[in-house]
Amino acid sequence: MVRINVKVGPKGQIVIPKVVREEYNISPGDKIVIKENDQKIIIEKPTDPILELERISKEIKFREKIDVHSIEEGYGERWKKRKHTI
C-alpha cells in the first residue's frame, strides 16, 4: 500500500500526484468516483462498461462475440420508447 500526503486547497481541491495519475492512467477531463467506506475516502477510476463486458465474457469463456453496436442500438430504442411513455 502506497501512502502519499497531499494538501487540501482553499476550495477543497486536491492534486492527484503524478505517480498515481500515471499508474492509473488518469488524464485531465477523466471522471473519477469518490466513495466513503468505514471512515475512509476511496477514489476510483470507473471502468469502461464495454471493456468490462468483454473482460468478463473472456473470463467465463462466452462463445459469441459481443456486438457493441447492436447493444447501443437496443439501448437507444428503449430510451426512445421510455421518453414517449413519460
Least Cα distance to 46 among 54, 35, 37 occurs for 35
Between 3.90.1150.10, 3.30.470.20, 2.10.260.10, 3.40.190.10, what CATH number should domain 1-46 receive? 2.10.260.10
End-to-end CA distance of the chain: 48
Enter the pTM of the model.
0.51
How much is the pLDDT for 15?
94
For the chain, residues classed under CATH 2.10.260.10 are 1-46
Res. 86: pLDDT tops 60: no
Instruction: Report which residue type is found at 22.
Output: E
Residues 6, 8, 12, 18: what is their CA dihedral angle, to the nearest 10 degrees?
Answer: -30
Q: What pLDDT does 83 receive?
A: 62
- Would you say 2 and 22 are in contact if contact means Cβ atoms under 8 Å apart? no
Average pLDDT across the chain, whole number: 82
- Confidence check: pLDDT of 24 > 80: yes
pLDDT at 62 over 70: no
Query: What is the reported pLDDT for 85?
Result: 60
